[in-house]
């Protein structure tokens, strides 16, 4: 991976996963720590019943939060099992923390993340759809690593993989979406991943520097969208929100999620543009092509670049 991607991975991932110094049960009832790092050996055949952790857990310098005394293997295993069977998968993070005694350091987390990232990269590059990974634009590399971080590097998204083998960035942006039902925490990652693949396509089409990351992980999503560093992507909800805001129709935020504010702003724009109103919009596919064309024309009038 490019140096820019390696440097960006933690700043990109931490707002999505948090940086956690204790063991916790994630929404899938898997024990994790760090920045979404699994410690759980569960598999699909014995989900929720395996009391044994992954060996990774013993490579970390666990210590008692009150005494700073290093924890032994038995203490680590006991804490793992306490968390594993705590039933706290849907509890607030603060409540998850209260049941734990052991902690790890920031250095341990950084080492854990870096090691896992390198391992995932190697696995991904060994898969035929991603064989050209080294030549992908930086935003595309970050998008794929982000997907692997949430799904594991052996994920199976057939349409996405077929598009990746052809460097079809538009289709990749559309087909990278992970299931959000029962796991709303994945929504912000889906929004960002789609944007990253879109930006990779733009970099490739424009002949830009593939090693340069267009998306700035040091900025929030809305700041990136308002930065003017890249064209407004009208094929994405967050791009439509950006266009509406630019044209004076406040969607109530640039988050890539269609809610009441976005629907209100969209119908107000449609009325002003003489287009058919669509108050029931739920996804980008529900927005009529004439509305998208009108948004594009409005951006053209203001000299704002856009895609397509």
DSSP sequence for 139-183: HHHHHHHHHHHHH-TT---HHHHHHHHTT-HHHHHHH-PPP-TT-
pLDDT on residue 46: 55
Q: Encode pLDDT of 114-127 as tens digits.
A: 999 999 999 999 99
Residue matched to tokens 């266009």? 243
Instruction: Please identify which residue in the block is written with the tokens 């396509």.
Output: 201
Q: Round the average pLDDT of the chain to a whole number and report it.
A: 95
Provide the CA 185 distance to its chain's centre, in angstroms. 9
Strands 37-38 and 102-103: unpaired
The predicted structure's pLDDT at residue 185:
86
Indicate the pTM of the whole model. Answer: 0.93
Query: What pLDDT does 48 receive?
Result: 57
220 φ, ψ to 5°?
A: -70, 165
For residues 113 and 35, is the Cβ–Cβ distance under 8 A? Answer: yes
Structure tokens at 92: 């607030």
| Triad 160, 8, 126: Cα angle to 5° | 40
| Segment among 50-59, 68-77, 265-274 with least mean pLDDT | 50-59
Which of 39-53, 181-195, 240-254 tops mean pLDDT?
Answer: 240-254
Asked if 2 and 211 count as a contact pair (C-beta separation under 8 A), the reply is: yes
Q: Which long-range contacts (CB under 8 A, 24 or more apart) does 272-280 make?
A: 273/298
| Residue whose token pair is 């709303």 | 184
Instruction: Report whether pLDDT(44) > 60.
Output: no
pLDDT at 301 over 60: yes
* 63 strand-pairing partners: 70, 103
Q: How far is CA 9 from CA 118, 145, 208, 243, in A?
A: 11, 8, 21, 28
Q: Are 185 and 27 in contact, with CB atoms under 8 Å apart?
A: yes
């Amino acid at each position: 991976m490019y140096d820019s991607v390696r440097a960006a991975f933690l700043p990109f991932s931490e707002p999505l996963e948090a940086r956690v110094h204790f063991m916790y049960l994630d929404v899938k009832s898997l024990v994790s720590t760090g920045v979404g790092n699994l410690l759980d050996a569960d598999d699909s055949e014995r989900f929720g019943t395996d009391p044994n952790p992954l060996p990774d857990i013993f490579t970390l310098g666990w210590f008692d939060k009150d005494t700073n005394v290093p924890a032994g293997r038995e203490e680590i295993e006991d804490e793992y099992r306490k968390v594993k069977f705590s039933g706290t998968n849907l509890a607030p993070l603060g409540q998850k923390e209260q049941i734990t005694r052991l902690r790890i350091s920031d250095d341990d987390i950084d080492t854990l993340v870096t090691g896992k990232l390198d391992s995932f990269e190697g696995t991904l590059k060994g898969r035929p759809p991603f064989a050209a990974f080294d030549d992908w634009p930086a935003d595309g590399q970050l998008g794929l690593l982000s997907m692997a971080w949430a799904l594991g590097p052996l994920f199976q998204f057939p349409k996405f993989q077929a598009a990746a083998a052809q460097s079809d960035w538009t289709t990749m942006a559309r087909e990278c979406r992970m299931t959000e039902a029962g796991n709303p925490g994945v929504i912000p990652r889906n929004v960002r991943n789609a944007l990253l693949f879109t930006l990779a396509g733009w970099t490739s089409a424009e002949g830009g520097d593939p090693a340069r990351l267009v998306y700035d992980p040091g900025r929030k999503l809305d700041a990136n969208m308002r930065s003017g560093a890249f064209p407004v992507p009208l094929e994405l909800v967050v791009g439509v929100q950006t266009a509406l805001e630019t044209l004076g129709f406040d969607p109530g935020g640039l988050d890539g999620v269609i809610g009441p504010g976005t629907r209100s702003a969209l119908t107000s724009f449609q009325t002003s543009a003489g287009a058919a109103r669509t108050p029931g919009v739920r996804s980008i596919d529900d927005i009529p092509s004439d509305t998208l064309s009108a948004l594009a024309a409005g951006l053209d009038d203001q000299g704002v670049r856009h895609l397509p």
